[in-house]
Amino acid sequence: MRFSSTLALLLASPLLALAQYSCDPNVCKLPDCACATTTPPGGLDPAQVPQFVVFTADDAIQSYTIDAVNQFLAQRKNPNGCKPKMTYFASLTYTNYSLITDWYVAGNEIADHTITHMGSPTKEEVNGNLIALNALAGIPLSALKGFRAPLLDFKAETLQILHKSQFLYDSSASASVPVTDPNTNAYWPYTLDNGIANNCDTPGLCNGEPKLPGLWEIPMYAFFDNRGVVGPHLMDPWLRPSFLALRDSANGNNAPSDAATLAFMQKTFTDHYNGKRQPIGLYTHPIHVSLSYPGTTAKKSTIDMINSFLDWAQNHDNVWIVSNEQLLDWVRNPAPASQMSSLASFSCPAPTYDASAKICNGVPTSEDGTLARCGFSDFPFFTCYGCPTAVPTVDDPNPAQSAQTRFRVPANCSTTYWDPVEGKCLCNSPSCAFTDVARPIGPNDASYQGGGIGGDFKLLSDGSSTGGGSGSGYAPFNGAQRVQDAVVLWPILLVFLAAAVFGAVAV
């Protein structure tokens, strides 16, 4: 997270921001417009509103991080008997693509956290993440709805990129004032039709800007220790990063204390539950609570504490552990807690599939033999969709396959039914019919709809090209030369670097 920003938030005046935010609820109406407000959507009485506990994870997806999330969610059920879903904001360096496929097919939400974990990212970092997740993890473009800025470092331009690329929501802003404070900025998720109302310390945000109709902001709701507004804990509230005094363990003490953390998490939850039921969030970096990660410093006592918190929270009536996607589905179509069990977003239909088919659905017998190990020296990964000749980069998020061995999920077949070896859709009934969306995320904002085999920009189903105008080759986003061309530059660059190093030593 971006600590200086958090500090500045504490100093910013929520009153000032609120005074300059204006939104007419008679004009701005659900499901596609919502004003920033602390009162629940749909005019519901707080007592009728489900208490949502949003669970998110950020950064690379590996077996260690999936293990970590499973410690908290795998054994749980929501009030309707379904396992909780969560949102994974994936960055791609050190990510294992086949695990993303499995995690998505299991019903979780995959969202964008840039390719290389870049704060205030470029358009290419944001959109390239979508293209690589679609190509190598088989995630439909329509399923990639959300974004969180690495380091929570975002600007008005970042939100404008999201709007242009047809994201449904951002979740990078902080609700940094307790719900018990009259000046709280813990708004229910809202659209940016009238600008943003959080993070007003950042130039270009608030005072009605930026106006981005239909783009939702899902604020990140902080926990607060007994120092109140000056003791916020936004992400990983159980950690004590040595580089940060601000969120330096509970209540300003120097050492982290699981007991004190549990106490303030329960206090904040109770304030939400007894108040207007704004969601609360466990925003995690799972690598820090993974016991299977080599060299881990995670403590079993901390993991037990987090589970104790969730056990305790789930003992309250109408508490639901959800993904951002589920939360937003409910906010856009709010229903009383008594009707939750009938809502499709929260159901868990058993997937139907041909047990003999070789498809990438997370079921070991189905997936067996479909995965390829891509032996890149930095971080080998697995994918169902063919190893690329190079690791996806900002310039080339969808490199050619080393051999044409797999077909990528096309726009007219869902991940669960796609046979990447034969290149055919195993769905034969209207009940599993699926149509993905094209999004303007290709080079030069061209439309992109997935499928293909990589290495060239997508041809549309009618045969026309939407490429960046460079024929069959993938047009690099930023106009840089293609990888093979760049190779010849290396000797020149090395000579330059050697000269620089030599020069430095000589001085």
Q: Closest distance between Zn ion and the C-beta of residue 95, in Å?
A: 12
What gap in Å lies between CA 164 and CA 168, rounded to an integer?
11
Q: Which is nearer to Zn ion, 150 or 362 (CB)?
A: 150
Q: Which is nearer to Zn ion, 4 or 274 (CB)?
A: 4
Site string for Zn ion, 49-88 (x = CB under 5 A): ---------xx-----------------------------
Q: Which is nearer to Zn ion, 153 or 445 (CB)?
A: 153
Closest CA to 231 of 259, 250, 257: 250
Q: Does 236 bind Zn ion (CB under 5 A)?
A: no
Give every CB contact of residue 224 below 8 A, 6+ residues apart in sequence. Answer: 178, 231, 232, 233, 264, 267, 268
Q: Closest distance between Zn ion and the C-beta of residue 284, in Å?
A: 11
Q: Does 150 bind Zn ion (CB under 5 A)?
A: yes
Q: Among all residues, whose Cβ is closest to Zn ion?
A: 58
Site string for Zn ion, 105-144 (x = CB under 5 A): ----------------------------------------
Site string for Zn ion, 5-44 (x = CB under 5 A): ----------------------------------------
Looking at residue 399, the DSSP 8-state letter turns out to be P
Q: Closest distance between Zn ion and the C-beta of residue 89, in Å?
A: 7
- Is it true that the peptide bond before 31 is cis, omega within 30 degrees of 0? yes
Pair 196, 209: CB distance under 8 Å: yes
Q: Closest distance between Zn ion and the C-beta of residue 91, in Å?
A: 6
Closest CA to 107 of 361, 471, 294, 443: 361
What gap in Å lies between CA 291 and CA 296, rounded to an integer?
6
Residue count, binding to Zn ion (CB under 5 A):
3
Q: Does 146 bind Zn ion (CB under 5 A)?
A: no
Q: Which is nearer to Zn ion, 237 or 450 (CB)?
A: 237
Which DSSP string do the residues of 140-202 spell out, in sequence order? -GGG--EE--GGG---HHHHHHHHHTT-SEE---EE-S-TTSTT---PPPEEETT---S-TTS
Q: Closest distance between Zn ion and the C-beta of residue 282, in Å?
A: 15
What residue type is 393 in one-letter code? T
Closest CA to 345 of 18, 55, 78: 78
- Given the rule CB under 5 A, which of 72-80, 150-158, 427-435, 468-476 is the region that contacts Zn ion? 150-158
> Which residues here bind Zn ion, judged by CB under 5 A?
58-59, 150
